Amino acid sequence: MDDSSELFDVVDSEDRVVGQATRGEVHAKGLLHRSVHILVFNSRGELFLQKRAMTKDENPGYWDSSAAGHVNAGEEYRTSAQRELMEELGISGELQFFRKFSASQATLWEHVETYLCTTDQEITINLLEISEGRFWPIPDLKERIDSHPDQFTSTFHLIFGSYLKSKG
């Protein structure tokens, strides 16, 4: 699937729109742009993670947030998050804003808004985007991250670390 022609807003360090460029240009030139990440929990408090498809241009085969994606040109963060939940996991849900991260090397030069969602809806992964997905009990996930940190995206490390700190 070639999505290199998707159009994104190019933004500055303060997340103000300064132009537009294609996905291909944004990634090739390291231009600042926007993305969303959603952490989906079930009623047992387990966190769903996706394993990125090997066809993805960034972080193929890595474990990542439940759902994530770029914010399209002219799109609001929350609208993008709802779209990504449906496109990647086949669910809709109430999103609770969690935190915004400024663009950095760890976020692949994306300003990232993160959301939390709790649901027991049946998840149907989009196999064009995701090779597998599953719910992790938090202690098991922490153990896996400690033993195999290189299996997780840098953005997920940032978000999950912040989430754990927020929970004390």
Q: What is the DSSP string of 71-121?
A: PBTT--HHHHHHHHIIIIIS-----EEEEEE---TTTTSEEEEEEEEE--P
Q: How far, CA to CA in Å, does 41 sit from each of 5, 10, 11, 22, 110?
A: 33, 31, 31, 33, 24
- Six-digit token string for 69: 């994606």
pLDDT tens-digit series, residues 134-164 = 999 999 999 999 999 999 999 999 999 999 9
Alpha-carbon 106 to chain mean position: 13
Q: What is the pTM of this model?
A: 0.94
Architecture of domain 7-166 in this structure: Alpha-Beta Complex (3.90)
The pLDDT, as a whole number, for residue 116 is 98
Write down the domain spans for the chain.
7-166
